[in-house]
Amino acid sequence: MDIKANLEAIKKTFINPNCLLVAVSKTKPLSDLKEAYKCGIRDFGENKVQEIQVKQPEMPDDTKWHMIGHLQSNKVKYIAPFVHLIHGVDSFKLLKEINKQGKKIDRVIPVLLQIHIAEEESKFGFDAQELKEMIQDSSFTYLSHVTIKGLMGMATFTEDEDQIRKEFRSLKGLFEELKNESLPPFVQLEELSMGMSGDYLIAQEEGSTMVRIGSAIFGTRG
Ligand SMILES: *Cc1c(COP(=O)(O)O)cnc(C)c1O
């Protein structure tokens, strides 16, 4: 895999040059991450706590670690000290745990709320109703050690571009709707994490501010 050539080719296609490229390096060896780092990449996406724990000490200090996968509450403590952004916060329980771990180490942890937009049945992600309920919960106001930086979503795995576009558009719609609500100061809706190797251009057209790209950079995963 020519990581450098792949990165250059991808960057060239960006519709929004300000959209952040998160290089999804899950399952890939450190040598691949170091190669991407040499090409200027600082943001890396991983989906397993154990894997981040192994890679993090081996990479330069200014590497930004994005936890993009499903995160179990009991593992938050392992990444709390250094994680740059947790994309997949999909329950109030998890949000409260992140807040608790942040409090312990006196760090405000940036997160995104994962919204379920795909047609596929998935256990992960809030639906609009759950989101509303959480925001109205009295204990929501008291989160002192998390910042909700925005929303994240994954489109249905399909060739149907209209379907994908529709789903991204619905996420953007929810994002804009939420911005108009009166929300506590720790909710700062700035980021919309949507788009992967197969659909990042559609995502950018629909307003993505960060794309999570793995296989198009590092090759398919085994
Ligand atoms: C693996 C993964 C990606 C990257 O997928 P590619 O198709 O390889 O670009 C993006 N987001 C999440 C949440 C992932 O788990």
Give the model's pLDDT for residue 121: 77
- Ligand 1 pocket check for 110: Cβ under 6 Å: no
Mean pLDDT (the chain) is 96
Does residue 213 contact residue 10 with C-beta atoms inside 8 Å? yes
Mean pLDDT of 158-176: 96
Q: How many CA atoms lie within 13 A of 1 on its CB side?
A: 19
- Ligand 1 pocket check for 68: Cβ under 6 Å: yes
Residue 202: how many other CB atoms lie within 10 Å: 20
Pocket test for ligand 1, best of 20, 22, 24 (most atoms within 8 A of CB): 24
Ligand 1 atom with the shortest distance to the CA of 68? 13
Q: Residue 101: which CATH number?
A: 3.20.20.10
Element (H, E) at 207: none
Ligand 1 atom with the shortest distance to the CA of 198? 7
| pLDDT tier, 159 (very low <50, low <70, confident <90, very high otherwise) | very high
Residue 133: how many other CB atoms lie within 10 Å: 12
**What's the CA gap between 38 and 49, in Å, rounded?**
24
CA distances from 168 to 10, 19, 118 (A): 20, 15, 9
Domain count, the chain: 1
Give the model's pLDDT for residue 1: 79
Mean pLDDT of 135-160: 95
Pocket test for ligand 1, best of 196, 204, 218 (most atoms within 8 A of CB): 196
Q: How far is the CA of 185 from the centre of ligand 1 (A)?
A: 30
* H helix and E strand count, the chain: 9, 8
**What's the CA gap between 67 and 45, in Å, rounded?**
6
- Ligand 1 pocket check for 53: Cβ under 6 Å: no
Evaluate if residue 149 carries a pLDDT over 80. Answer: yes
**Residue ranges making up the domain that contains 176:** 3-218
- Ligand 1 pocket check for 94: Cβ under 6 Å: no
Mind listing the pLDDT tens digit for each residue in 100-114?
999 999 999 999 999
CA distances from 70 to 20, 108, 174, 177, 190 (A): 21, 20, 21, 25, 22
**What's the CA gap between 8 and 19, in Å, rounded?**
15
Mind listing the pLDDT tens digit for each residue in 174-208?
999 999 998 999 999 999 999 999 999 999 999 99
Amino acid at 167: E
Mind listing the pLDDT tens digit for each residue in 13-24?
999 999 999 999
Give the model's pLDDT for residue 67: 98
| pLDDT tier, 222 (very low <50, low <70, confident <90, very high otherwise) | confident
Evaluate if residue 123 carries a pLDDT over 80. Answer: no
Evaluate if residue 148 carries a pLDDT over 80. Answer: yes
Query: The dihedral of CA 68, 69, 74, 78: what is its sign?
Result: negative
